[in-house]
């Protein structure tokens, strides 16, 4: 199957700093990428949807100025958590969808665990 990578896999930062997470589709072109957040013992929560070359569409309640998403190419999307605070500590997961496949066929990255001190 298609492979999606995320970098870094784990990051610890100080409160007030910004953190960038990369999501790459390694062997296919991702026309759409998605970013999810997952708190301990909870389900995944969709944060935003991004199409290559377009502005991301954020889900209700997600601050677009805090979670900056860039989808500059068909294989790379980045999520930047700006001025991170301890409540932003979470497991961030990206997924990618190509041109082929059904509407729900998404390939997920392994996730990035963010800890804000």
Partner 1 sequence: DAKTTQPPSMDCAEGRAANLPCNHSTISGNEYVYWYRQIHSQGPQYIIHGLKNNETNEMASLIITEDRKSSTLILPHATLRDTAVYYCIVIGGATNKLIFGTGTLLAVQP
Tell me the closest approach of the beta carbon of residue 82 to partner 1, in angstroms.
Answer: 24
Interface residue with partner 1 among 34, 35, 58, 67 (CB under 8 A) is 34
Strand partners, 77: 23
Instruction: Measure the CA–CA gap between 4 and 14, rounded to whole angstroms.
Output: 28
Residue 35 binds partner 1, judged by CB under 8 A: no
Residue 43 binds partner 1, judged by CB under 8 A: yes
Residue 16 binds partner 1, judged by CB under 8 A: no
Measured from the CB atom, is 60 or 65 closer to partner 1? 60
Count the site residues for partner 1 by CB under 8 A: 24
68-95 burial, b for 16+ CB within 10 Å, e for fewer?
bbebeebbbbbbebeebeeebbbbbbbb
């Amino acid at each position: 199957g298609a492979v999606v990578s995320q970098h870094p896999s784990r990051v610890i930062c100080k409160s007030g700093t910004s953190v960038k997470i990369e999501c790459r589709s390694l062997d296919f072109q991702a026309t759409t990428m998605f970013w999810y957040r997952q708190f301990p013992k909870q389900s995944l929560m969709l944060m935003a949807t991004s199409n290559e070359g377009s502005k991301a569409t954020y889900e209700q309640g997600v601050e677009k100025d805090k979670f900056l998403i860039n989808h500059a190419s068909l294989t790379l999307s980045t999520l930047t958590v700006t001025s991170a605070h301890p409540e932003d500590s979470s497991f961030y997961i990206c997924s990618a969808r190509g041109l082929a496949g059904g509407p729900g066929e998404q390939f997920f990255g392994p996730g990035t665990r963010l800890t804000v001190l």
